[in-house]
Amino acid sequence: MKIRKIFSKLVLFSFLVLPASTNYKLEGFTFGNAGGGGGTSPNYGIVGNMGELSNGKISSTNYDLGAGLAFIRQSAVPKAPTLVNDGGYYNKLHLTLDNSTTMPPDTKFAVAISRDNWSTTQYIKSDLTVGGTLAMTDYQTYTLWGGPSGVNIVGLDVGTTYLVKVKSMQKQYTESAYGAGTSATTIMPTLSFDIDVSATDSLTDPPYLVSFGDLMPNVVTTSTDKIWVSLDTNATTGGSVFVYGQNGGLYSVSAGYTIPAISGNLAVAANGFGVGVSSVTQVSGGPLTADSLYNAGGDIVGVTDTLIRQLFVTNNSVTSGRGSFLVKAKSDNDVPTASDYTETLTIIAAANF
């Protein structure tokens, strides 16, 4: 019997099918340490970069070196901004972006802020307050961030250290990573107030007593000593010094009579009692000014009855505000003679935090 060997051939065919459609075609869709790239169609393109790293970046403790075309096209990482408390602020800090890196003029910036060393992150909103979310409207150009003059971040907590960092975005390019950060601290609210009694501007200790001596009938008598007040505050909307009297004038217990506190010209009044501002100044801030009721000059005085009235005022923070006022009185022949005419003036300072 003859045995024939029958050979059968199996022919294998290998096909490479590229993704395609009537309108689009994708080429070079390989992956790995050396990816392909450059696939195009008449209307669309896919570009890549040869030899991308598998993790997409080279990093160290302080720097990142990204890889790939996406990284190349990212907006530049901004340098660290400047954050300072340049005005003794308790509720705001001054922020200035660093624009020394060459960036297109339409580049926009977003600012992150933290009060707990980035355990939580908040953002500077377009109205310069702090919020928990970052909206597209919060990305602002260098000009809108105040340019070289910067802006004040407002609504901050007192006595708190804040950290800030900035990222950028430009047109269709992806936004950058955050750049290096910086920090500054708000201080506590302050109000300092002092009273002195002296003929000249000098520091004195209590008790604070002003003497008229004898009040001669029909003569305006002015105290030799002035009452000085000092006011310092970092309140952004300033503060005031107020005055009021206990008796509504010079009161004598023995005579049972009061020379009344008045507003007006003692030179033409029959009798009366009041105060008039002698001087007002400050080292910086303010200005500290005298209320018009007490600032007429001459023998014109303002009333110091039992109502609390404003004597000095500032609408801004002030450093070493200093004001003085004189006490004036007049009697006539109808005023009973007595040696115990007195008044107690209370002076109050308040700040508008």
* Tens digit of each residue's pLDDT (9 = 90 or more) over 226-268: 999 999 999 989 999 999 999 999 999 999 999 999 999 999 9
Per-residue confidence (pLDDT) for residue 108, from 0 to 100:
94
- Band (pLDDT 50/70/90 cuts) for residue 76 is confident
Strands 257-260 and 249-252, how do they pair?
antiparallel
Which among 109, 151, 98 has a CA at the least distance from the CA of 129?
Answer: 151
Encode pLDDT of 290-327 as tens digits. 999 999 999 999 999 999 999 999 999 999 999 999 99
Per-residue confidence (pLDDT) for residue 6, from 0 to 100:
43
Distance from C-alpha of 68 to C-alpha of 74, rounded to nearest angstrom: 10
Per-residue confidence (pLDDT) for residue 174, from 0 to 100:
75
Q: Is the pLDDT of residue 271 over 90?
A: yes
Which among 38, 39, 7 has a CA at the least distance from the CA of 26?
Answer: 39
- Residues of the chain within CATH 2.60.40.10 domain(s) are 82-185
Averaged pLDDT, 49-78: 58
Encode pLDDT of 272-293 as tens digits. 999 999 999 999 999 999 999 9
H-helix or E-strand spanning residue 209: none
- What class has domain 191-351? mainly beta
Burial, 249: exposed, middle or buried (Cβ in 10 Å; 0-12, 13-18, 19+)?
buried
Question: In this structure, are residues 345 and 281 in contact, taking their beta carbons and an 8 Å threshold?
Answer: no
3-class DSSP state for residue 26? coil
Residues 6+ apart with CB under 8 A from 49: 35, 37, 67, 68, 69, 72
Distance from C-alpha of 159 to C-alpha of 162, rounded to nearest angstrom: 10
DSSP 253-287: TTTTEEEEB-SEETTTSSSEEEEEEEEEE-SEES-
> What mean pLDDT, rounded, does the chain reach?
86
Which among 66, 340, 350, 51 has a CA at the least distance from the CA of 212?
Answer: 340
Q: Is the model's pTM score more than 0.85?
A: no
- What class has domain 82-185? mainly beta
3-class DSSP state for residue 338? coil
Q: Is the pLDDT of residue 68 over 60?
A: no
Encode pLDDT of 87-142 as tens digits. 889 999 999 999 887 788 889 999 999 999 999 999 999 999 999 999 999 999 99
Q: In degrees, to the nearest 5, what angle opens at C-alpha 19 toward C-alphas 18 and 20?
A: 105
Question: In this structure, are residues 183 and 164 in contact, taking their beta carbons and an 8 Å threshold?
Answer: yes
- What residue has token string 């007192």? 158
